[in-house]
Amino acid sequence: MTSFVRSYTDKLSYQPGETVELFSGADGPTDASVRLVLLDKALGEDAALPAEPTEIAWAGGGRYPIGEQETCIGSFAHVTLPAPPSALSEYSLGAWVWCPSPAVASRQAIVSSVDPASSAGISLALVDGHLALVAGAGPDAEVLASVDEPLRPATWYLALGSVEAKGRTLQALPADPLYGTPIVATSPATAATPLNLTLGLTIGGAAAREMVVNGGVARGIAQDRFNGKIEAPFVTAATFSPSEAATAQVLYDAVMQSVVVGVDFTATPGERSFEFDVVPSGIGSGLLLNGPTRAMVGHTWRGQVMAFVEAPEHYGAIHFHDTDIVDAGWNVTLTEVLPTELPSGIYGIEIRTADAVDTVPLFVTPAEGTVRKKIAVLIPTFSYLAYANEFLFAGPIDFEATKLGDLKLTSADHARYDGGPYGRSCYDTHADGSGVSISTSRRPILNLRHDDANWLNGGGRGLSGDMYLIEWLVQFGFEFDIISDLEVHQQGLEALTPYNVILTGAHPEYDSIEMMDAFLAYRDGGGKLMYLGGNGFYWKTAVASESPFVIEVRRGYAGIRAWESHPGETYLASTGERGGLWRHNGRPPQELVGVGFCAQGWGVGQPYLRTPASKDPAAEWIFDGVDETAIGDYGRVLGGAAADEVDRADFRLGTPSDAFIVASAGGHSNHMQRVIEEIQMNVDGHGGGQQDPEVKADMVYFTTPLGGAVFSVGSIGWSGSLLSKDGENGISRLTCNVLTRFAAG
Ligand SMILES: [Fe+2]
């Protein structure tokens, strides 16, 4: 008897005929029947499960044995030394360290050399927040020496452990003496603990094994993983006694005189970001495993620069977390090519055991060189990744109190929260409170499912929210291709030009500069965009070219954000670009699609009301056959078309001056609150939907000189209304009018 089956594939989007690798696991050995299915049905009213998907003939279908899988999670670094120095009997291990929460885990290795097979070896570590020398790894490892006083949170220390015949010495010297006094301890030696570097050196963990470089990332497994920043770790052949005169920097300079192996974590953007330099040059090579955060300020940073590319020497730190993940590294369950004639669409690999089922989505794009449909649906995969395994419901905000109705948590919600077995989302923080800036698709993503009922809006959100649009397109006989964010990111305009019209998903929040440029060029070159969502084009997103299944965001200090960047850490390590909101990078969404994020909240959704501008002959056609006065006072997402997160027009932020604001939806309850970046002074009376006239969704239409056009609805809830009343409703009719005209070219 098993209780779950969970799975992922090597990518999110494929072409027909391309090979798919499926990775499946369960909580015990079992047999799974696997089949390929077409996903074109959405959640029903009250989040009722979608209709059964249609099976597609596929050579990969069949029965497969599956069982427990070991997940590569928790970042660390490893130095391989092909010709290691001979074993040292007297030596020191050390690094600069900075921990927001030094005791967040009981055992955390800073620098170690421990054999994963025999557990022989030594680590400089934190034991319940106290600097220590530890023999072996794991909960049973022996503490050889430790200091009495714990490290202070968020304080840079030079941490040093010296081992010599007469005893052991630990020193933690604050980089700035204002923030703590040196913490030292000495203990007599009871047995020799030579340092054998044959297995190399592990940093931020101990007893490293299963280390693999694949697809532009490195993954592996280690024990005692560290939560915090480590800078310039080292091994020296000298030992150091406590000296009252020594400052941290003086001691560090002395240490460097006798360094045997040193590490340079300084970041440079670009290829092979999983590597780092080891000194002296030629002695070895370094690997970063499971995706720690690079380009972090080090112990010398005092606000001299805000971009790591300008002064890399101040960015010598890497932040390790025991919840980092870039590739779960499971054993492959099956490898098979997709059918070569598979039409573009959303498919799923369904994995069914006697007790459980999981359906992993595949976004199948058209094959190269094939005739394209006139319509493309752009699947916001970068947004899916940013929200992957999100558990904001367990975070510091009391969502129960800020929304209407109870939180309805599903088993998938509980499973991704309990221990965070498959890593966290860019909406969560790591165990030490620092933000999650990296997300990968190479892991089970429990909320990236076509039938996921969202805890926040009570309906579909993410992929399950976009399934409303897919089912509606099929129901109304529109033929369409599927493309994903990644194709637009990698191919730019070329991914968009085959189409007369591009439809976005309901929540296309994360975009790279390549994507923003492509959308603009498409629109201005005569293409037509239907932005059928809210909170779109909001966060600047980076993708490392060598690992396109990983995205990176930096929250900065503004916008609706689940965490805030440390000062000086707003630049994206993957590309060297400044992160944060697109609005604050000079590209407000209003400039691209006429509207931009203005409010969010989870009360009842509101309908749109036409404006006088909608009667203009140039725009009136949008409403042909729409006889509702209140358009969209129904829907599967919070009961109304303008719901969840909404956008407004603003001519000062770039809405084109001749744009038609053809309808607006306001009057939300005070659950709906104005976004933070629009509030400069916090004074009485902001209220929310009931007081603030700028809390609204605007429906906007405009054309561009070369025949392009944009239609934006500014609401995540829009597509949740398409299928109401069997699709016979004003939102559906209106969408149909615009799509029919735009698709005609
Ligand atoms: Fe959002």
Q: What pLDDT shows up at residue 411?
A: 79
DSSP string spanning 679-723? Answer: -SS--TT---TTT-TT-SEEEEEEE-TTS-EEEE--BTTHHHHTT
User: pLDDT per residue over 75-125, tens digit each?
Assistant: 999 999 999 998 999 999 999 999 999 999 999 999 999 999 999 999 999
Determine the Cα–Cα distance for residues 67 and 446; give it in Å rounded to an integer. 18
Give, in degrees to the nearest 5, the angle at Cα 133 between 131 and 138: 95
CA of 189 to the centre of ligand 1 (A): 57
Comparing 27-36, 367-376, 387-396, 736-745, the range with the smallest average pLDDT is 387-396
CA of 670 to the centre of ligand 1 (A): 18
Residue 742 predicted with pLDDT over 80 = yes
Q: How far, in Å, from the CA of 533 to the mean position of ligand 1?
A: 10
Of 19-33, 171-185, 560-574, 689-703, the one with minimum mean pLDDT is 171-185
The closest of 330, 346, 301, 322 to 567, measured between CA atoms, is 301
Express each pLDDT in 1-28 by its tens digit.
889 999 999 999 999 999 999 999 999 9
Q: Is the pLDDT of residue 270 over 80?
A: no
Distances (CA, A) of 288 to 273, 285, 297, 676: 8, 10, 17, 36
CA of 334 to the centre of ligand 1 (A): 34
Q: What is the residue type of 497?
A: T
pLDDT given at position 499: 98
pLDDT of residue 459: 96
Summarize the confidence of residues 673-702 as an average pLDDT.
Answer: 93
CA 241 from centroid of its chain's CA atoms: 44
Give per-residue pLDDT as tens, 196-225. 999 999 999 999 999 999 999 999 999 999
DSSP reduced 3-state for 294: strand
**If 0-12 CB within 10 Å is exposed, 13-18 middle and 19+ buried, where does residue 511 land?**
buried
CA 508 to ligand 1 center in whole angstroms: 8
* Mean residue pLDDT across the chain: 95
What torsion, rounded to 10 degrees, do the Cα atoms 197, 198, 200, 204 define? -60
Distance between Cα 462 and ligand 1 center (Å): 10
Three-class secondary structure assignment of 663-685:
EEECCCCCCCEECHHHCCCCCCC
| CA 264 to ligand 1 centroid distance, Å | 37
Centre of ligand 1 to C-alpha 405, Å, is: 20
Question: How much distance in Å is there from the Cα of 245 to the middle of ligand 1?
Answer: 53
- Quote the ligand 1 centre to 465 CA distance (angstroms): 13
Question: Which pLDDT value is given to residue 504?
Answer: 98
Tokens of 445: 């993503």
Cα angle 345, 349, 352; round to 5: 145
Ligand 1 midpoint to CA 674 (Å)? 13
Whole-angstrom distance, CA of residue 512 vs CA of residue 582: 9
Query: Three-state SS for 503?
Result: strand
Burial call 380-395: b when 16+ CB within 10 Å, e when fewer: bbbbbbbbbbbbbbbe
The stretch 367-385 carries a mean pLDDT of 96
In the structure, ligand 1 is a single-atom ion and the residues with CB under 5 Å from it are 509, 535
Identity (one letter) of the amino acid at 192?
A
The reported pLDDT for the residue numbered 419 is 64
Rounded to the nearest angstrom, the distance between the alpha carbon of 457 and the centre of ligand 1 is 12
Q: Is 235 helix (H, G, I), strand (E, B) or coil?
A: strand
Long-range CB pairs of 674-678, under 8 A, 24+ apart, other chains included: 674/598, 674/599, 675/559, 675/560, 675/597, 675/598, 675/599, 675/600, 676/558, 676/559, 676/560, 677/558, 677/559, 677/560, 677/581, 677/583, 677/584, 678/598
DSSP designation for 585: G
377 C-alpha to ligand 1 centroid (Å) = 19
Residue type, 111: V
Whether residue 349 is predicted with pLDDT greater than 80 in this model: the reply is yes
- Give the mean pLDDT of 122-143: 96
d(CA 700, CA 40): 28
- Work out the average pLDDT over 396-422: 81
Q: How far is the CA of 535 from the centre of ligand 1 (A)?
A: 5
What is the spatial distance between Cα 169 and Cα 183, in angstroms, rounded to a whole number?
Answer: 11
Q: From the CA of 412, how far away is ligand 1's center (Å)?
A: 20
Residue keyed to tokens 């953007």: 269
How large is the average pLDDT for residues 643-671? Answer: 97
Q: How far is the CA of 280 from the centre of ligand 1 (A)?
A: 47
CA of 534 to the centre of ligand 1 (A): 8
**Closest to 423 (Cα-Cα) out of 412, 436, 432, 414:** 436
What pLDDT, on a 0 to 100 scale, did the predictor assign at position 123?
97
Identify which has the larger pLDDT, 180 or 496. 496
Tell me, in angstroms, the distance from the centre of ligand 1 to residue 476's CA: 28
Return d(Cα 370, Cα 120) in angstroms, integer: 59
- Confidence at residue 685, expressed as pLDDT on a 0 to 100 scale: 82
pLDDT at 193 over 90: no
Which pLDDT score, from 0 to 100, does residue 147 have?
Answer: 95
Instruction: Reply yes or no on whether the pLDDT at 531 is more than 70.
Output: yes
Structure tokens at 244: 């009252």
Phi, psi at residue 321, to the nearest 5°?
-140, 145
Task: Judge contact between 717 and 637, C-beta under 8 A.
Answer: yes
Mean pLDDT (whole number) for 557-568: 94
How confident is the model over 54-83, as pLDDT tens digits? 999 999 999 999 999 999 999 999 999 999
Distance 649 CA to ligand 1 centre (A): 18
| Average pLDDT over every residue of 43-57 | 96
Residue 139's nearest CA partner among 154, 127, 122 is 127
**How far is Cα 527 from Cα 439, in angstroms, rounded to an integer?**
31
For residue 645, the CA-to-ligand 1 centroid distance in Å is 7
Pair type for strands 375-379 and 480-484 = parallel
Please choose, from the candidates 495, 513, 527, the residue with its C-alpha nearest in 3D space to the C-alpha of residue 379: 495
Task: Check whether 583 has a pLDDT greater than 70.
Answer: yes
- φ, ψ at 612 (rounded to 5°): -55, -30
Report the relative pairing of strands 201-203 and 206-214 from DSSP bridges.
unpaired
Cis amide leading into 280 (omega within 30): yes
User: Separation of 281 CA from ligand 1 center, angstroms?
Assistant: 46
Ordered DSSP codes for 346-381: EEEEEEE-SS-EEEEEEEEPPPTTSPPPSEEEEE-H
CA–centroid distance, residue 31 to ligand 1 (Å): 38
CA 67: distance to chain centroid? 27
Residue 45 CA, ligand 1 centroid: distance in Å: 23
Q: What is d(CA 383, CA 372) in angstroms, rounded to the nearest whole number?
A: 25
Cα-to-centroid distance, 513 and ligand 1 (Å): 18
State in Å: Cα 536 to ligand 1 middle: 8
Q: Highest mean pLDDT range out of 244-248, 368-372, 410-414?
A: 368-372
CA–centroid distance, residue 673 to ligand 1 (Å) = 14
Cβ atoms of 445 and 391 within 8 Å: the answer is: no
Number of H helices, E strands in the chain: 11, 43
- Contact criterion met (CB below 8 Å) for 43 and 69: no
Q: What is the mean pLDDT of residues 507-533?
A: 98
3-state helix, strand, coil in the chain (%, to 5): 15, 35, 50
Q: Can you give the C-alpha Rg of the chain in angstroms?
A: 28
pLDDT digits (tens, 9 = 90+) for 478-502: 999 999 999 999 999 999 999 999 9
pLDDT for 679: 93
Q: How far is the CA of 147 from the centre of ligand 1 (A)?
A: 45
Q: Categorize the per-residue pLDDT at 382 as very low, low, confident or very high, splitting at 50, 70 and 90.
A: very high
Which distant-in-sequence residues (6+ apart) come within 8 Å of 62 by Cβ? 33, 34
Gap from CA of 352 to ligand 1 centroid (Å): 32
pLDDT tier at 188, thresholds 50, 70, 90? confident
pLDDT at 644: 97
Q: Say if CB 319 and CB 232 are below 8 A apart.
A: no
Ligand 1 centroid – CA 716 distance (Å): 9
Report the first-to-last Cα separation within the chain, whole angstroms: 56
| Ligand 1 centroid – CA 528 distance (Å) | 24
